A and B are shown apart, each in its own frame.
Chain A
Amino acid sequence: MSRPVVEVTGLTVRYAGATALDGVDLAVGEGELVALIGANGAGKSTLVKALSGLLRPHAGTITVRGRLAQVPEGREMFGDLTVDDNLRLGGWRNPEGRRGRDTSPIYELLPELSDLRRRRAGSLSGGQQQMVAIGRALMARPDILVVDELSLGLAPLVVTTLVGHLRTLNTERGLAVLLIEQNARLALDMCERAYVLETGRIALHGAAKDLARDPQVTAAYLGGHVEAGGGLEAGGHVEVGGGQEAGGRLEAGGHASGGHVEAAT
Chain B
Amino acid sequence: MSDLLGYIVTGLGIGAGFALVASGLVAIYRVTRVVNFAQGAFAVLAAMLTASLLGSGVPHGVAELGGVALGAITGLLVGVVAIGRPGTSPGTSLIVTLGLGVLAYAIEILIWGDQPRSYPGVPGVAEVGGARLQAHYLLIVAVTGPVFAVMAWFFARTDLGKALSACASNRYAAQVVGIDVRRMGLLAFAIGGALGGLAGVLTTPVQQVTFDSDVALIVNGFAAAVLGGLTRPGVALAGGLLLGVAQTLVAGYGGGAYQVEVALVLMLTVMIVQAARTGPVAETAR
Q: Name A's B-contacting residues (CB within 8 A).
A: 52, 54, 70, 72, 76-81, 85, 88-90, 92-93, 98, 101, 136, 140
Contacts and interface: CB of A to CB of B under 8 A. Distances in A.
A81 B178 contact: no
A88 B178 CA distance: 12
A70 B178 CA distance: 10
B58 interface: no
Interface string B150-184: 00000000010011011011101111111100000
A78 B31 CA distance: 13
A85 B175 CA distance: 16
A172 B173 CA distance: 28
Contacts of A70: 176
Contacts of B172: 72, 76
B169 A98 contact: no
| Among B163, B166, B173, B175: residue with most chain A CB under 10 A | B173
B159 A79 contact: no
Contacts of A72: 172-173, 176
Contacts of A80: 165, 168-169
A101 B165 CA distance: 17
A92 B175 contact: no
Given A52-B176, A92-B179, A93-B178, A78 B159 contact: no
B170 A88 contact: no
A183 B162 CA distance: 35
A70 B172 CA distance: 12
B173 A92 contact: no
B159 A81 contact: no
Nearest to A148: B176
Contact of B176 (A76, A81, A88, A98): A76
B14 to A, nearest CB: 31
A88 B165 CA distance: 13
Contact of B162 (A54, A76, A88, A93): A88
A54 B178 CA distance: 9
Interface in B244-261: none
Nearest to A97: B159
| Among B159, B163, B169, B179: residue with most chain A CB under 10 A | B169
Contact of A140 (B162, B169, B174, B177): B177
Q: Interface majority SS on A: helix, strand, loop or mixed? A: loop
Given A80-B169, A81-B169, A92-B159, 11 more contacts: A76-B170, A76-B172, A76-B173, A76-B176, A77-B170, A77-B173, A78-B173, A89-B166, A89-B179, A92-B179, A140-B178
Contact of A54 (B163, B168, B175): B175
A54 to B, nearest CB: 6
Given A54-B175, A76-B176, A140-B177, A92 B170 contact: no
Contacts of B178: 92-93, 140
Interface string B101-123: 00000000000000000000000
Contacts of A85: 162, 165-166
Nearest to B171: A76
Contacts of B177: 89-90, 92-93, 136, 140
Contacts of A98: 159
B31 to A, nearest CB: 13
Nearest to A75: B173
Contacts of B170: 76-79
A70 B170 CA distance: 15
Contact of A88 (B159, B168, B169, B175): B159
Contact of A79 (B162, B169, B174, B179): B169
A92 B176 contact: no
A116 B166 CA distance: 19
Interface in B173-199: 173-179
5 contacts: A76-B176, A77-B173, A78-B169, A89-B174, A93-B178
B175 A81 contact: no
Interface in B114-142: none
A54 B179 CA distance: 11
Contacts of A89: 159, 162-163, 166, 174, 177, 179
Interface in B228-257: none
Contacts of A52: 176
Contacts of B159: 88-89, 92, 98, 101
Contacts of A136: 177
B163 A92 contact: yes
Nearest to B160: A92
Contacts of A93: 177-178
B285 to A, nearest CB: 11
A78 B168 CA distance: 9
A204 B72 CA distance: 56
Contacts of B175: 54
Contacts of A90: 177
